[in-house]
Every structure is written in structure tokens, then in C-alpha cells.
Structure 1
């Protein structure tokens, strides 16, 4: 009876990992042969593991990744212009700790979105908060927010993520003038504090013309914030869609 009450109290205290480990020990003759300190250490470890896993699942749900991806599945090859040293550097997530940006360009199907999600997933495993957004949809949301008065709140929310993935710059033929303002607000709120990933079919050399639309000053400001000190990966090669990479 006492053990049942103990288990119930652990669950009431939201110590689910400890509760399960306690029940497992009661059913294990080997565990009961161990000393108190060792058994107590085991239930504490179980609670730590439970909380780490729960936090990871919460971060993954919050991130809203476009595709499931893992850095362990990354295809590294000279043909793709994706070096193992680059992948290993990004895997460590030290670039996120430094607030460094990541830019990935390449033709359709070269794996930009998949890689962005893979590195985002790795960031979640390291405990960082991540959000994946199609750039076009984020800008549309900000346009609505500007109209309904929630713009500043939206910008503040986007600024809080340790890693913000903005996918597919250049997905439309034109970049509306108000979108330049919105994108500048986003990157300006994050510069030097949190990391941003930007993917695009356009090479970086074409970004200024695409973003300027007659206002090169704003384009200069956006690119200065995005590209200063950024890691730039220019993917090459044939489409990998047939291999289910993107």
C-alpha cells in the first residue's frame, strides 16, 4: 500500500520518470539487491532522461519542421559542394551559440530545405528553440499583423527563437516593398543575438537585385545583417528528390 501511495505522489508531483523507475525497481530482483544510494541515483537519472526527452519532443513540435531530417543522414560529397568539415561544424551548433547565420543556396532539389531541417533538428537535440518558416508565409503573416496591430508582438516572438529557419527566398518573381520592411525588422531584431538560416535558389550574388526593387538602401541593410560573418553553403549537383532528400 505504501509503495502505491509513493508512486501516486510522484505522479502528482509530475516526477513521471522517477515514478516509472520506482515501479521498475520494485519489479526487479536485481535492483532490490543494490544499495540505497545506487537505487536512488538510478531513479534520479531516469527522471533526468524523461525530462530531456520531453523537452526534445516539445522543441520538435514547436519547430514545425517541413520534413523529418537528421544530420546522421546527410550526404556529404565534393559533387554537392558539401564538405564533411562543414557538416561537422554545423553539427556542433557552436555557430548557434555565437549567433552566427547560415545561408544555403542551390538549384531546386539539391537539399536546401532538408538540410535546414536536419541542422534545426540537431539544434533541438542540443536544447535550442527553433522555428521553421516558409519565408513567403511569414511575410504574409506579418502583413496581416501590421493591419491588425499585432506586428510588434509578432516580431518580438520571432526574435526569441535561438534559431529561425527562413525557407526559399526568391520563391516569387517579385518582392513587395512592404516585405523588405518586414524582413529587415526580423533580421534586425535577431542580429548578433540569435541565428537565422536562409535558403534560396538564387545565388547570394543575385539577392541584392531581388530585394532592392528600387530601394537599395533597405536591401543593403538586410544583407548586411544576414551575411555579415555568415556561414555560406552553395549546394551543387543534380536533384536529390528521387532519393527523398528534400
Structure 2
């Protein structure tokens, strides 16, 4: 009865990890060989693990990543100009701590979004706040925020997140309000947070696609300064996978005849 009361008190104090750990450990026999200090130490570790897992779940949920990609799942067998050494550098948190940006460019289907989401996943697992958005949705949300009075609040949220991921950047040229919003975001994040940008538009074409020369200078200077540049090339990996699946399916049908 005393153990049940202890577990109930732990739960009331929101020590859910310790409560679950105590219940599980009392169900076994290994705890009998431990000293009181060691047993309490294990319960504290249970609580720490529980809180770490809860934080990770929350970070990944808030990140809103487009796909559950990981750096370990990146395919280096296809020739697309992706440096494994650079990705090993990005697998550490040094670039996040240094507030360095990452620009991922290349044609459709070469894995830009996957790499961007993998970087976001890695950052969240390291304890950083992450937010993923597609550029068209970002500018649409900012435009709507102007109407309901939450524009400044949204800009502040985008400036404070430790890793901002903007996918499908410059699918179309920017209009004046989009240029201004983008400059506000990039200016606020400069030396304050890391940004990953994924775009089909080559970096050499960003200046004219952004529009206004003065604002384009300011945006490009802040985005590209000391940034990692991953310039991908090659055929669509999605089409390759579809062709491979089709060939495999045809082979299976042929084998059954």
C-alpha cells in the first residue's frame, strides 16, 4: 500500500517518469540488490529520460517537418553532387551554435526537402527549436496575419526559433510585401539563429527573382554570408524510384507467367 501511495504522490507532483520507473522496478527483483542511494539514482535517471523524450516529442511536433527524414537515411549512392563530408559536418551542432545557414539548391526531385527535413530532425533531437515551412505558405500566413493583427507576433516567432527551414523558396518571383517580410525575418535572424533554405532556383538567380535590387542585396548578403551551399544536380530520385519499382513489378509479373 505504501508503494502505491508513493506512486500516486509522484504522479500528483508530475514526476511521471519516476512513478513509472518505480512501478516497473518494483515488479522485478533486481532492485533488491541495490543500495537506497543507487535505487533513487535510477529513479532520477528514469525521470530525466522521460522528460527528454517528452521534450523531443514536443520539439518534433512543433517543427512540423514535411517528412520524417533522418541524416542516417540520406542516399549517397546516386551521383548528385552531395558531399558526405559536408553532411558529416552538419551532423554536429557546431553550425547551429555558430548560426550558420544552409542553402540547398537543385532541380525538382533530387532530395532537397529530404535533406532539409533531415537537418531539422537532427537539430530537434539535439534539443534545438525547429520550424519548417514552405515559402508560399509562409508568405500566405504572413499576409493573413496582417489582416487579423498577428503579423508582428508571427514575425517574432519566426525570428526566435533556433532553426528555421524555408522550403520551395522562390518558386515564383516575390512581390513587394513578400520581399519586406523576408527581409524582416532574415534581418532578425542574422547572427541569432540558423536558417535552411531549399530552392529549385539557382543561387545566381536569387537576386533578380527577389526583385528590388537594394532589398535583394540585403537579403542575399545575410542569407549567403558564411553559409553552407549544397548544390545538387542529376535526375529526379523520385522518377528513378518509380522506374525501379516498375521494373521490379514487371519482373515479378514475368516470373509468374
Question: In which range does the TM-score fall when normalised by the shorter chain?
Answer: over 0.9
Contact in 2 for aligned 1:103/1:233 (Cα 8 Å): yes
Shift of residue 112, structure 1, vs aligned partner: 0.4
Partner of 2:161: 161
Question: Which residue number corresponds to residue 182 of structure 1?
Answer: 181
Name the SS of the counterpart of 1:169 in structure 2: coil
Structure 2 CA distance for aligned equivalents of residues 6 and 148 of structure 1: 49
- Per the alignment, residue 137 of structure 1 pairs with 137
Match of 1:42 in 2: 42
Provide the rounded CA distance (Å) in 2 between the counterparts of 1:87 and 1:18: 38
Unaligned runs of 5+ in 1: none
Query: Structure 1 residue 61 and structure 2 residue 58: aligned?
Result: no
Q: How many residues matched?
A: 241
Distance 2:234 2:75 in 1: 12
SS in 2 for 1:164: strand
CA contact (8 A) 1:96 1:163 kept: yes
**1:230 corresponds to:** 227
Map of 2:250 onto structure 1: none
After superposing the two structures, state which structure 1 stretch, 34-43 or 99-108, moved more.
34-43
What is the CA distance between 1:56 and its match in structure 2?
0.3
Query: Secondary structure, in 3 states, of the residue corresponding to 1:60?
Result: helix
The whole-number CA distance in structure 1 between the counterparts of 2:156 and 2:192 is 13
Matches of residues 1-246 of structure 1 in structure 2 within 5 Å?
Answer: 1-77=1-77, 79-172=79-172, 174-212=173-211, 215-242=212-239, 243=241
* Counterpart Cα distance in 1 of 2:226 and 2:202: 17
Moved more, 129-138 or 29-38: 29-38
Whether contact under 8 Å (2:142, 2:154) holds in the other structure is yes
Q: Contact between 2:171 and 2:201, CA under 8 Å: does it hold in 1? A: no
Please tell me whether the aligned partners of residues 18 and 47 of structure 1 are also in contact (alpha carbons under 8 angstroms): yes
CA offset digits 1:82-116 (Å, max 9, x no partner): 11111111110211111111100000000000110
User: Which of 140-149 and 125-134 deviates more?
Assistant: 140-149
Larger Rg: 2
The answer to whether the 8 A contact 1:116-1:165 is kept is yes
1:50 CA drift (Å): 0.6
Cα pair 2:131 2:165 within 8 Å, conserved: yes
Partner of 2:253: none
- Aligned-partner Cα distance in 1 for 2:222–2:206: 13
Q: Deviations over 1:181-212 (max 9, x none)?
A: 11101111100110111110011001001111
- Once residues 35 and 152 of structure 2 are traced to their aligned partners in structure 1, the CA distance between those partners, rounded to angstroms, is 57
> How far apart, in 2, do the equivalents of 1:58 and 1:196 lie?
20
Q: Write out the 4+ residue segments of structure 1 that deviate beyond 4 Å after TM superposition.
A: none
How far apart are residue 32 of structure 1 and its match? 1.7
